[in-house]
């Protein structure tokens, strides 16, 4: 595997800067905070940090609304702080990638200010402007009936120039016009090369499949007659020129630097549509995040997003299997993740937080699951200590995210009490806010999120409320405790590297797809189990109990085709019952890995 690029076996770790570590007591995490915890990440086994947006921004969407790509949002620090973080990463053999948000800018970006200044401004065409339509009564209407991601029309009227501009997300996030070559060139030069020239190792590329819109700007079919705007992702996802644009970006900006790229690719559940983005031959992206798994339980495509839909384990298995295998036989590559800043916490969604024992057992089960899957592994801050969703007792005003706020307001406006209740329930599981609570460092006030060195300074409360459970769940308490979630992550991340042939590069085969309790799969290596001619390949059987009851798992010898000593237990999450472990039995949320070598 020495020939493989570094990023395939690397463990990536996403830092959400506002909520990671605050070093100056203003209540906001900052880049010096990331620097101060770099050894924590290094010791965990992180190889590459992905830093969510730190650029200058009015923060209407937590920095995914950039007003200047070359400046850092002052509360986060300075360009020099990024340089220092990069240096610290490189000194430890780690890498650093930044978040590239170029589907849209903030309305505060100079480009947009110019574009909206007049219809004949040279940058007018850098954004997407369209004239109004009028209904039979002469009322002004947006150019299309599209609903955006944040529960409103995708169009906002500009009084000054008497046209609408397009925004798939917030009103303050106007979409750039990728059809305009000058605009594309500016993106490569102004945003990408600026940071690549400073030595960063690549980008996580936001909304990578949404740059090429269907330029007819036709109405979407009416699928939700009661709603003023209609779901229309097919109008902007994987559009006619998208592969041309991504190839150009790769050739002009990424390839010259050997920069790694991981694209965020939502609303594309069909492997055949995802493959062209990630096959090496296509020259587009190194890898993408596909969201079928992380969206499990999410309701309808857009308007029903926060109406929770329970799902069966077999559904989850089927999705994992699909995305584990979709690049098989190609030169493409896949990713593994179950958390990010846009979704609820994995242990609250896929695990069991009803007792401390089940919480610990299921957080470790999820760790074992993720660490044994094929592809590049991405962790999200706090996942490694089993951080959970906001407490159910918190009021609705604790949701700060524009998406949660807008969906809740929309439900309230509907006047439908059942819908309000269902939306609140959906938010309690799925809201983006859950992942944005401050990192729980220790049991001191504010969970140690605000660093002690600023004790003399006036400390502001964290921008987002700290979880009530921080005295029980925090990094300090888990560090050095062999039974903790954190130490388990550390161990399985090392195991993943040591047996990279199986876990990172091996093939994946589901065992017992219909079993609704135990998730079992076989990983097969390209290497042989022993150095004799005709020896079978190295294999691993992973069995994970996804319930709070005891379960039996498939027979190891039969599944791996091995006998006696050649079948051994390589790893396990600790048992959670005191009863003697019986062969073939899994305690609640217990996971095990058996190998044939
Ligand atoms: O998200 C893009 C996106 O399409 C969604 O998957 C996202 O999860 C959101 O919940 C839409 O409903 C990216 C960022 O990850 C997200 O934080 C930003 O809000 C968004 O882009 C706009 O920049
Ligand atoms: Ca700060």
pLDDT value at residue 531: 86
Instruction: State the residue for tokens 């791996």.
Output: 560
401 CB under 6 A from ligand 1?
no
Backbone angles phi and psi of 250, in degrees to 5:
-60, -50
**What per-residue confidence (pLDDT) applies to 254?**
98
Residue 403 CB less than 6 A away from ligand 1: yes
**Confidence (pLDDT) at 147:** 97
Tell me the residues surrounding ligand 2 (ion) with CB < 5 Å.
22, 24, 26, 28, 30
Helix, strand, coil distribution of the chain in percent, nearest 5: 35, 20, 50
The best mutation among 100, 266, 294, 399 to test binding of ligand 1, ranked by most ligand atoms within 8 Å of the C-beta, falls on 266
What residue's CA is closest to ligand 1, atom 1?
A: 207
pLDDT tens-digit map of 329-383: 999 999 999 999 999 999 999 999 999 999 999 999 999 999 999 999 999 999 9
Looking at the CA of 449, name the nearest ligand: 2
Residue nearest to atom 2 of ligand 1 (CA): 207
Q: Which of 30, 172, 264, 290 is catalytic?
A: 264
549 is catalytic: no
Residue 206: active-site member: yes
Q: What is the pLDDT of residue 439?
A: 98
Residue boundaries of the structural domains of the chain: 110-166, 397-430, 506-595
pLDDT at 235: 98
The predicted model scores a pTM of 0.97
Angstrom distance (rounded) from CA 426 to CA 428 = 5
Q: Which of the listed CATH numbers 1.10.287.70, 2.160.20.10, 2.60.40.1180, 1.20.1440.230 matches domain 506-595?
A: 2.60.40.1180
Residue 61 Cβ < 6 Å to ligand 1: yes
Secondary structure element (H or E) that encloses residue 287, with its range: strand 287-290
Q: Is 207 in the pocket of ligand 1 (CB under 6 A)?
A: yes
CA of 343 relative to ligand 1 center, distance in Å: 10
**Nearest CA residue ID for atom 20, ligand 1:** 64
pLDDT tens column, 30-46: 999 999 999 999 999 99
Q: How far is the CA of 448 from the centre of ligand 2 (A)?
A: 13
**Model pLDDT, residue 577:** 55
Does the Cβ of 172 fall within 6 Å of ligand 1? no
Q: What is the pLDDT of residue 455?
A: 55
State how far Cα 357 lies from the chain centre.
27
Q: What is the DSSP string of 154-202?
A: SEEEETTTTEEEE-SS-TT-PBB-TT-HHHHHHIIIIIIIHHHHTT--E
Q: Is 12 in the pocket of ligand 1 (CB under 6 A)?
A: no
Q: Do 110-166 and 506-595 share a fold? A: no
528 to 539, 573, 594: CA distances (angstroms) = 9, 27, 16
- pLDDT-flagged residues of the chain (< 70): 452-458, 564-565, 575-581
What is residue 323's three-state secondary structure? helix
E strand residue ranges, 52-166? 55-56, 68-72, 95-100, 129-130, 133-134, 140-141, 146-147, 155-158, 163-166
CATH superfamily, domain 110-166, is Oligo-1,6-glucosidase; Domain 2 (3.90.400.10)
Give distance in angstroms: CA of 342 to centre of ligand 1: 7
Instruction: Check residue 581 and give its pLDDT.
Output: 65
| Ligand in closest contact with the CA of 147 | 1
Q: Using CA atoms, how far apart are residues 359 and 352, in angstroms rounded to an integer?
A: 5
In a 10 Å sphere around its CB, with 0-12 CB exposed, 13-18 middle and 19+ buried, how is residue 156 labelled?
middle
| Ligand 1 centroid – CA 107 distance (Å) | 17
To test the pocket of ligand 1, the residue of 64, 150, 300, 378 to mutate (highest count of ligand atoms within 8 Å of its CB) is: 64
| Atom from ligand 1 closest to the CA of residue 170 | 22
State if residue 149 touches ligand 1 by the CB under 6 angstroms criterion: yes
Please state, in angstroms and rounded to a whole number, the distance separating the CA atoms of residues 520 and 527: 21
Q: Is the CB of 126 under 6 A from ligand 1?
A: no
Q: Which of the listed residues 69, 169, 211 should we mutate to test ligand 1's pocket, taking the one with most ligand atoms within 8 A of CB?
A: 169
pLDDT for the residue numbered 302:
76
pLDDT number for residue 459: 75
Q: Tell me which of 206, 339, 352, 524 is the catalytic residue.
A: 206
Q: Is the CB of 169 under 6 A from ligand 1?
A: yes
């Amino acid at each position: 595997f020495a020939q493989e690029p570094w990023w395939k076996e690397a463990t990536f770790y996403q830092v959400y800067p506002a909520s990671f570590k605050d070093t100056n007591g203003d209540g906001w995490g900052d880049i010096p905070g990331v620097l101060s915890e770099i050894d924590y990440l290094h010791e965990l086994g992180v190889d590459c940090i992905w830093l969510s947006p730190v650029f200058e921004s009015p923060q209407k969407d937590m920095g995914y609304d950039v007003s200047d790509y070359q400046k850092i949002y002052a509360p986060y620090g300075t360009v020099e702080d990024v340089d220092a973080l990069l240096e610290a990463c490189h000194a430890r053999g780690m890498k650093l990638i930044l978040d590239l948000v170029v589907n849209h800018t903030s309305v505060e970006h100079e480009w947009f200010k110019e574009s909206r200044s007049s219809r004949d401004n040279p940058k007018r065409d850098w954004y997407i402007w369209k004239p109004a339509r009028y209904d039979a009564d002469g009322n002004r209407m947006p150019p299309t009936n599209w609903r955006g991601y944040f529960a409103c029309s995708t169009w906002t009227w500009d009084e000054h120039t008497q046209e609408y501009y397009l925004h798939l997300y917030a009103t303050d996030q106007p979409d750039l016009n990728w059809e305009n070559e000058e605009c594309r060139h500016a993106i490569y030069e102004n945003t990408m090369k600026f940071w690549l020239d400073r030595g960063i190792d690549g980008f996580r590329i936001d909304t990578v499949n949404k740059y090429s819109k269907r330029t007819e700007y036709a109405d979407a079919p009416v699928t939700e007659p009661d709603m003023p705007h209609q779901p229309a992702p097919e109008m902007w996802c994987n559009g006619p020129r998208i592969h041309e644009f991504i190839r150009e970006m790769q050739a002009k900006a990424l390839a010259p630097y050997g920069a790694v790229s991981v694209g965020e690719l939502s609303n594309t559940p069909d492997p055949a549509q995802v493959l062209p983005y990630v096959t090496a031959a296509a020259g587009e992206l190194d890898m993408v995040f596909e969201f079928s798994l992380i969206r499990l339980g999410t309701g309808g495509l857009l308007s029903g997003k926060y109406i929770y839909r329970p799902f069966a384990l077999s559904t989850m298995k089927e999705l994992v299997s699909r995305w584990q295998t979709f690049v098989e036989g190609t030169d493409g590559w896949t990713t593994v993740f179950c958390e990010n800043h846009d979704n609820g916490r994995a242990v609250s969604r896929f695990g069991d937080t009803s007792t401390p024992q089940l919480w610990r057992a299921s957080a470790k089960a999820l760790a074992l699951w993720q660490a044994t899957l094929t592809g590049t592994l991405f962790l999200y801050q706090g996942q490694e200590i089993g951080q959970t969703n906001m407490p159910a007792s918190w009021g609705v005003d604790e949701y700060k995210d524009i998406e949660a706020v807008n969906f809740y307001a929309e439900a309230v406006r509907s006047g439908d009490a059942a819908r309000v209740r269902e939306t609140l329930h959906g938010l309690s599981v799925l809201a983006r806010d859950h992942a944005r609570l401050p990192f729980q460092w220790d049991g001191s006030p504010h969970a140690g999120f605000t660093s002690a060195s600023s004790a003399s300074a006036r400390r502001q409360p964290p921008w987002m409320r700290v979880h009530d459970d921080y005295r029980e769940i925090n990094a300090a308490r888990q560090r050095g405790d062999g039974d903790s979630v954190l130490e388990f992550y550390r161990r399985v991340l090392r195991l993943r590297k040591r047996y990279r042939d199986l876990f990172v590069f091996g093939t994946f085969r589901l065992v017992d797809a219909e079993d609704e309790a135990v998730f079992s799969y076989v990983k097969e290596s390209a290497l042989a189990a022993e150095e004799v001619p005709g020896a079978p390949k190295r294999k691993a059987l992973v069995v994970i109990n996804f319930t709070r009851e005891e379960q039996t798992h498939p027979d190891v010898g039969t599944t791996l085709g091995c006998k006696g000593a050649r079948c051994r237990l390589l790893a396990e999450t600790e048992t959670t019952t005191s009863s003697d472990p019986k062969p073939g039995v899994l305690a609640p949320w217990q996971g095990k890995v058996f190998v044939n070598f």
